[in-house]
Amino acid sequence: DAGITQSPRHKVTETGTPVTLRCHQTENHRYMYWYRQDPGHGLRLIHYSYGVKDTDKGEVSDGYSVSRSKTEDFLLTLESATSSQTSVYFCAIRRQGSYYGYTFGSGTRLTVV
């Protein structure tokens, strides 16, 4: 177990408010990812990080920003939440040198009302 924790597990927020989701890992892996899961779409990549302060956009990055100031934490921020961002958000880590060594967190269910 890679020791990956997401917080919060559930959140309800109002449209227009900022929201930050946290992903924390305990094993010093370089690669971290944020996905969102929606019915009919599977998991879609929002942003990913390949090191401290090194991040890049995924396929659905609009409306989201990320930060990684230390190896163990990868933060996803919705600057101004919208109802279309209601989703389940998953963080994942990947072991360097392993293209299949992904470990996923338990997810954050976010509802924007």
Partner 1 sequence: GDSVTQMEGPVTLSEEAFLTINCTYTATGYPSLFWYVQYPGEGLQLLLKATKADDKGSNKGFEATYRKETTSFHLEKGSVQVSDSAVYFCALFDMEYGNKLVFGAGTILRVKS
Q: What's the order of all strands across the beta sheet hosting 19-25?
A: 4-7, 19-25, 73-78, 64-70
With a CB cutoff of 8 Å and minimum separation 6, the contacts of 67 are 55, 74, 75, 77
Site for partner 1 in 31-60 (CB under 8 A): 31, 33, 35, 40-45, 48, 58
DSSP 84: G
State how far the alpha carbon of 88 is from the alpha carbons of 39, 83, 109, in Å: 10, 13, 4
Determine if 97 is a binding residue for partner 1 (CB under 8 A).
no
Nearest approach in angstroms of CB 15 to partner 1 is 26
Q: Is 63 in the site for partner 1 (CB under 8 A)?
A: no
Residue 90 touches partner 1, criterion: CB under 8 A: yes
Q: Closer to partner 1 at the Cβ: 52 or 80?
A: 52
Residue ranges that bind partner 1, judged by CB under 8 A: 31, 33, 35, 40-45, 48, 58, 90, 92, 99-100, 102, 104-107
